[in-house]
Amino acid sequence: MQFLENFSPELTIASPGRINFIGEHTDYNMGYVLPTAIGNKITFKFQRNGYDTQCNVYSIGYKGFSLDLKTISISDTEWENYVLGVLNEISKLTDKVKGFNCTIDSDLPLGSGLSSSAAMECGLAYGLNELFDLGLSKTTIVELSQRAEHSYVGTQCGIMDQFASVMSKEGNVILLNFWASYDQVSRESNNLLKTVYDQYHAKGFEVYSVSMDNNMTAWRDAIRFEEYTWIDVCELTYPESYAGSVYNITAIPTSFLIDKEGNIVAKNLNCKVLSTWLDNLL
């Protein structure tokens, strides 16, 4: 493509794939998944090109293509739809995206179960957010990337892959939590967890929470009422959810504690014992 001759990127984004420590194709009854980002990644290089709506995208290993932000539509070329879907979803939230050039290079094997599609969607969205100062939160990037895969790629995926690609943090101790606003035991467990989270969050303790609600209003109301401050996303498709089918979620809640190296070191800890573990790990 002609733009490559004078391409001088002003922003580089590395978007990781993911693996699951537990839960994938495993018969767990307790409802937790433990994904994390890996070193394999898709690398995006961006440059504003001075045009209002003309964009050029080149993927090493594929042919490049050009597009107009005013006339985004589904392509007959499958990989292009990951780009087009993200741009379509961003256009619903802001009109601040202008013309850009982008190159894409990947060492994530396609079809290997390492979530190259989520890395593609999230990396593009994250890069455009930075390039044009869109003001999108990480949670918004996760959610719009999932919607892009639903609407343009045609895969009715859950939110786990995008979540792991964007939200994973190096060197943290993590608790990944499935819950539901309608489940009183979940809410009681979360409320007890708040004290531990407040005490250890600044030291490197993260709680990633995924609601199995199918009522977004009830989920949001519960988060506001209970004042949960950790990251929380909602699949909105339970009991026919992607995560429910892939990860065999049959009961909530439970917990697995993951150390800084990504090892599962404990499960189903009460808050007193969890605090002891965190004192040793952080």
Task: Tell me how far apart the alpha carbons of residues 224 and 246 are, in angstroms, rounded to a whole number.
Answer: 29
Check residue 18 and give its pLDDT. 64
b/e map 229-268, b = 16+ CB within 10 Å: ebbbbbbebbeebbbbebbbbeebbbbbbbbeeeeeebee
Q: Identify the pLDDT of residue 260.
A: 78
Residues tagged active-site? 161
Alpha helices in the chain (DSSP H): 80-91, 116-131, 138-148, 160-167, 184-200, 216-226, 242-246, 271-281
Domains of the chain: 2-28+37-165 (3.30.230.10), 171-281 (3.40.30.10)
pLDDT tens for 88-118 read 999 999 999 999 999 999 887 665 554 678 8
Q: Record the tokens describing residue 86, joined without a space.
A: 């993200």
Tokens linked to 188:
């009681």
Low-confidence ranges of the chain (pLDDT < 50): 21-33, 114, 246
Q: What angle do CA 55, 61, 66 make, to 5 degrees?
A: 15
* DSSP-derived 3-state class of residue 196: helix
User: What is residue 167's predicted lDDT score, i.e. its pLDDT?
Assistant: 66
pLDDT digits (tens, 9 = 90+) for 60-76: 877 899 999 999 999 99
d(CA 154, CA 81): 9
pLDDT at 185: 93
- Asked if 34 contacts 5 with a C-beta cutoff of 8 angstroms, the reply is no
Overall pTM surpassing 0.85 (yes/no): no
d(CA 171, CA 116) in angstroms, rounded, equals: 23
Element (H, E) at 261: none
CA distance 174 to 259: 7
